[in-house]
Structure 1
Amino acid sequence: MSCVVTGGGRGVGRGIVERLLADGGTVVVIERDPGALSWVERHTGPGRLVAVVGDAADEGVAGRAADLAERAAPLTGWVNNAAVFRDASVHDAPVGEVVDLITRNLRPAVVGSATAVRRFLAAGTGGAVVNISSHQASRPVPGCLPYATAKAAVEGLTRALAVEYGPHGIRTNALALGSVTTERHEALLAGLEPDQARRIQAELARLHPVGRIGLSQDVAEAVAYLLSPTAGFVNGVTLPVDGGRSALGLDPESR
C-alpha cells in the first residue's frame, strides 16, 4: 500500500507519516518548506519515505505525489493535513484578504481529495481519504475566522465526498482536533515568561477533560485507523480527537 500526507514535514503531519510508515507501506510527503524535510534523509525506512517539496494546493504537485506513491505500490490513502495558521478579522481586514486565507486552508483539501478520488476511480480499487479539521469548525474562538470557516467547509467537503464516492469503495472521513503539542506550540510557550507559559498550559488542560492537550501520536493513531480496512464501514464522519474538549464545551475566553 502507499499513502500521501500533505503538510507532513513537521508537527501533526510528521507524526502521521511516521505512524503510517510503521505499518510497512510507502508514504509520500508533500511539504512546502524544504527546511521541514531534513529528517527524511535520516529516516530508517529507506525507499519507503519520499518527499515532494511544493504547495499542496497545486494540482501539479499533488499529481506528482500521487505518481510517486503509485510507482511504489497501489495508492490506498490520502491525508489532507496541510494548513495555514494566519488570521484576519472582517472589521479591519480587506474582504479579499479574508477570502484568500479561507481559500488557502480549503483549497489543499479540495485538490488532495480530487487527486485521490480520480486515482482511486482509475485504479478501480477504492481507497480512503482523511481530512484534518479542528474543533473550531463547530466552536470557533475569537480571532480565527478564516481558519474556522475553512475547517467547517472541510467537514462539509468530507460528507459530500463520502456520499458521492462511497458507492465506488472510496471512504472519506475527518478528524476534528483539539489543541495539540507541536513545534509551533512549544515555540510559543518558549517565548513567554515562565509564569505566563504555566498559566496557558493550565488553561489548556482545563479545556480538555483528559487534563492535557493532544500529542501528534494521538492524531496519528486515529488516522491509521480511518485509513485501515478495520474502518471499512466508517464513512462521512467527523471524529473528535480532542480529549473531550468539544463535549465539555468551555469558552476559552470565559476567564
Structure 2
Amino acid sequence: MSREVAVVTGGGQGIGKAIVERLLAEDRAVVVVEMRDERLEWLDEAISESRAWVVVGDAGEDAVAARAVAAAESLGALTGWVNNAALFHDAWLHEVGGAGVMELVRRNLQPCLAGAAAAVAAFRVQGVPGSIVNISSHQAQRAVRGALPYATAKAAMEGLTRALAVDYGPWDVRVNALALGSVATERLRSLEESGAEAYARVEAAIRDLHPLGRAGEAAEVADTVAFLLSARSSFISGAVLPVDGARSAQGHDPEAVMPS
C-alpha cells in the first residue's frame, strides 16, 4: 500500500510546523502550502526522501490547492487535509466598513473552502476515505474585542465543518474542526518584545483564562490533528473539538473562588 499523504496549509511555522513534524513522525508524507519558501530548510531531509514537498502560493487559490493535490499524489495516496492557514488582522467595522471587513473574512475563510473543495474532489476520484481538519479558534464562540473579522471567519469555518461532514459523509469523508485556545507559538512569544512588565501581564491573563493555568503547546494541537486524520477517529465527524485547556468552558464571575 502506498504511503498516506496529508496537505497542511500554513505548515511552515508555528502550529502548522508542529502538525507537519508530527505527521512525518507517523510515517505520513506531507505537502506544505506556504506563501513563501524561506525558512523551510528543516524540510530538506524529508523532501530528499520523497516524504515531503512544498507548494508556494496562496492557500485560498483553487489553482494552488490543485497543485497541492498533484504534489500529494506524486508522494502517495492523499487521505488527509489540514486547513491551518490564517490571517491575523484586526479591524473595526465602523472604520473599514462592511466591504473591508468582508474582504478580511474572505481571506481567512477562502483557504478553508479551496482546500476542502480540492480534498473532497481528490478523495472521491481516488475512492478512498478522507479526513479534513479545520483549525478554528475559541473566538468563533467567544469574540475578542477588535478582532471581528477573525471571529466571524472562524464561526463560518465551524458551520462549514458541519455542512461538509453532512454533505460528504456518504462518501466516507470526515470533517472536523479544532477550536484552539491560546497556544505558545512565535506569535505569542513575540509579545515579550513589549517589555517584561507588559509580558508578565499577558502571562497572568493567559493563566486566568485557561483553567489548566497555561497556554497550550503546538505539539498538543498536532497530536489531536494526527488523531483526527487517523483511523482511530473513524466515527468522529462534524465535531468542533475544543483544544483550549477548558477556556471555553469557564465563566468568569466576581464571586469565583479557588478550591481550598
TM-score by length of 2: 0.93
2:38 match: secondary structure:
helix
- Cα deviation per residue 1:160-180 (whole Å; 9 max; x = unaligned)? 000011111000000000000
Equivalence for 2:203: 201
Check conservation: 2:37, 2:54, Cα contact below 8 A: no
Cα distance in 2, alignment partners of residues 250 and 115 from structure 1: 41
- Cα deviation per residue 1:110-148 (whole Å; 9 max; x = unaligned)? 000000000001111120000000000000010000000
Check conservation: 2:5, 2:80, Cα contact below 8 A: yes
Check conservation: 2:184, 2:217, Cα contact below 8 A: yes
Return the offset for 1:44: 8.8
Return the offset for 1:94: 2.6
Q: Which residue of the other structure, out of 33, 38, 53, is the alignment partner of 1:50?
A: 53
Unaligned residue ranges in structure 1 (runs of 5+):
none
One-letter identity of the residue aligned with 1:212: R
Matched ranges for 1:32-111 at <5 A: 32-41=35-44, 46-111=49-114
Check conservation: 1:5, 1:17, Cα contact below 8 A: yes
Q: Which residue of the other structure, out of 231, 234, 241, is the alignment partner of 2:233?
A: 231
1:182 aligns with 2:185: yes
One-letter identity of the residue aligned with 2:194: L
Cα distance in 2, alignment partners of residues 95 and 8 from structure 1: 31
Equivalence for 1:29: 32
% identical aligned pairs: 52
Check conservation: 2:92, 2:146, Cα contact below 8 A: yes
Matched ranges for 1:125-164 at <5 A: 125-164=128-167
1:5 match: secondary structure:
strand
For this pair of structures, how many residues does the alignment match?
Answer: 250
Check conservation: 2:138, 2:179, Cα contact below 8 A: yes
One-letter identity of the residue aligned with 2:197: D
Cα distance in 1, alignment partners of residues 6 and 200 from structure 2: 38
One-letter identity of the residue aligned with 1:46: E
Unaligned residue ranges in structure 2 (runs of 5+):
254-260
- Structure 1 runs (4+) deviating above 4 angstroms are 42-45
Cα distance in 2, alignment partners of residues 42 and 193 from structure 1: 38
- Cα deviation per residue 1:196-250 (whole Å; 9 max; x = unaligned)? 1111101101100111001100100010010000100000000000000000144
